[in-house]
Amino acid sequence: MPNEMTVEENVLYIEALSHALRDEMRHDPSVMLMGQDIAGHGGAFKITKGFLDEFGPQRVRNTPIAESGTIGIATGAAILGQRPVIEMQFADFISCGFNQLVNVAAKMYWRTECAVPLVIRMPGGGGMGAGAFHSQNVESWFLHSPGLKVVAPAFSDDAYRLLRSAIKDPNPVIYFEHKFLYRRERTDLKGTEIGDRVVGEANVRRSGQHLTSISWGWMTHRVLEAAEIMAAEGVEIEVIDLPVLSPLDLDPILQSIEKTEHVAITHEATRTCGFGAELAARISDEAIWNLDGPVTRITYPDSPSPFNKKLEADRIPSVDVICDGWRQALQS
C-alpha cells in the first residue's frame, strides 16, 4: 500500500500505534475508531490526532463516558461487519464495561458462531504517579476469560505489527499499551509482514545460559538493563519477552529452561493471581524435572498504586530488585 508507514527509523512507541491505526484504516474501510474525546481532541494521549480530518465522523466516533455502552455498541457493529477499535482512556476504566466484554463479546462466537473482530486499546501501567485509578496492570482479568486474546508489546515495532494484526483478527483482542513507554521507547519499523490474526509469540531478546527471565511490557526493558549488570558479574541471563500473552507460546520458554535450569518471572501487576502465577504453574507442569530451583516471581506487591511517585517507585520492580531476585534464584 503506497501510504503505509512500514519502514521508518527510530519510531516512538506512541507514534507506532498511530501509524498502525492510520495504515489499517487506509487499507480497510470497515475499520472504525470509538472512544472518549478521540475525534477532534485526538484522545487522552493524542494518538488519533488528525484522524477526524482524514477519515470523517462516521469512522472516528466520540463516545460518552459509558464504557459498557461503548463495548456493547462496538460488539454489535463487529457482528454486522465493521472492525471497531475502542480506546479506553485508561485500562482501569474497563471495569465499567466488564460484563459486555467477558460475557458478551468473548462468548459470542461460542453462542452464535458470529465473529467479533473487536480491539480494545488499553493504556495502562504505572511509573507516572497517576494513582490507583490510572496505573493498574490488569492483564490477568482477561487471561482468565476464554474467547479473548491479550497483547502487551514492549517495543515500537511489535506495537505496530501486533496492532494491525489485532485489527485483522476475527476474535476480540485486548491490546495493552504501557503509558510509560509512549514517549520513551524507540524502535525502527522495518516493514515486517502483518499477520491476519494474533498468534502466540515468545521472543528471546538476549541469550544466556544461567537463568531464564520472562517478562512483558515495560518490565522487559528493566529486565534487559538488569541483565547487563548481571553480565558484568559473570552471570548470563536469557531474556524472553512475551508480546502476546494469550495465546501463549510456551515452547521457547521450555526450551530455554532446559538450558538454564533456573527461571524468574517479572511483572508489574500485583503478585497474587498475576499472570506470573499461571506461568509458574505451567512451567511446573511441563518442565519440573529441568528445574534446579523453584520458580521465582518478581512483582508489584498486593497494594493499590499510590500517587506519590517515590512510594510508587518503591513498589514497581526496579533493576536492583530484579538483580537481587535473580541472585537469590541462582542460590536456591
Task: Please tell me whether residues 54 and 116 are part of one structural domain.
Answer: yes
Bridge-based pairing of strands 203-206 and 237-241 is antiparallel
Q: What is the pLDDT of residue 54?
A: 97
Whose grid coordinates read 520492580? 317
pTM of the model: 0.95
Same-domain status, 146 and 274? no
- Asked if residues 71 and 100 have their Cβ atoms less than 8 Å apart, the reply is yes
Query: Is 213 within 8 Å of 326 (Cβ atoms)?
Result: yes
Q: Is residue 5 part of a domain?
A: no
Residue pair 4/16 in contact by the 8 Å Cβ criterion:
no
Residue 68 pLDDT > 90, yes or no? yes
Q: Nearest to residue 278, comparing CAs of 224, 242, 320?
A: 242
Q: Are residues 166 and 212 in the same domain?
A: no
Q: Which residues are catalytic?
A: 134
In the predicted structure, residue 143 carries a pLDDT above the cut 70: yes
CATH of the domain at 301: 3.40.50.920
Same domain, 157 and 291: no
Considering the domain architecture, whether residues 221 and 164 belong to the same structural domain is answered as: no
Identify whether residues 126 and 32 lie together within a single domain: yes
Structural domain of 245: 203-331
Please, where are the H alpha helices in 80-188?
98-99, 108-112, 139-143, 156-168
Residue 3 clears pLDDT 60, i.e. is over it: no
- The reply to whether 166 and 95 lie within a common domain is yes
Output the pLDDT for position 4: 56
Task: With respect to residue 195, please indicate whether it lies within any of the assigned structural domains.
Answer: no
pLDDT (tens digit per residue) in 210-229: 999 999 999 999 999 999 99
Asked whether residue 109 falls in the same domain as residue 180, the answer is yes
Per DSSP, the three-state class of 192 is coil
